[in-house]
Structure 1
């Protein structure tokens, strides 16, 4: 039996149990501030400025199955972008976007209503004259900061990024800092 931890990673929390940057080590929150379970490790990453679902496990095989690109686990995000995104930008996201490190695989992208979620602390900047749009973006690869780079490449920079699903696992009603422990065969 393997442990699988579903964790709702808050904004500004490092996706590791210790901060290796000695200059900031005592001031930056990390996984050890929220999870007191021994010998579990993240299966994949979520940037410090991103929020949402992070999976942790004590099984190297399960970690590999979740995180390795060859298994193509679909990851879905709620993304608040700067501006009123248009159909052309959504079409580009769905066809694949050219980034410095190559063309992304086609994504699934659609405009959604603002999800019923927690307020971010600190809040996303607000500009009275520029609207924002929420989209759901699903990808099956994991290039570094890929979602942010994709939305910027089509002209709509990401303001807020929340991963709500990885494969069959999802956030459901977990609030930031909460986790749920599952046993996997």
Structure 2
């Protein structure tokens, strides 16, 4: 097997998505995913704790989000800081070459309740990571929670729009964040 080839995690995710589409999530095994990717089962478990996690990127998004918040300009307010982080994620994770994979991934998630549950848990973890990162910047706890919740909603809206369009994720995220921020002020 070609264990030395680069991008093992991406190859595993692509193989898993293909198999989930072909034979269903429930009927796909970790061994089949690893074999389809040209890797071993132990390599799979080096990257992912279980087959549910293979479509969720490990901790990559969380790390990018935390880095983006930390790298925001010093004078940025909480919502602007979140916007900065979402734009950074767009540059790194939501590139045009990932759009087709992401659309296929969403279809697989929609078809399997176990994967939708994992997605919801990941969203909660990302929101908590935003809160923590904002608080480390000195944002008061309640303000950090509100900004993080707005950011999470904007992320979800931007992701749905990004899959359907050729637009830049960062621009879509900033626009969605502005929209949800304005809508919350009208509530």
TM-score, structure 1 as length reference: 0.20
**Which one has a larger percent strand, Structure 1 or Structure 2?**
1
Higher RCO structure (Cα 8 Å, ≥6 apart): 1
Rg: which structure is higher?
2
- In the superposition, the TM-score normalised over structure 2's length comes to 0.20
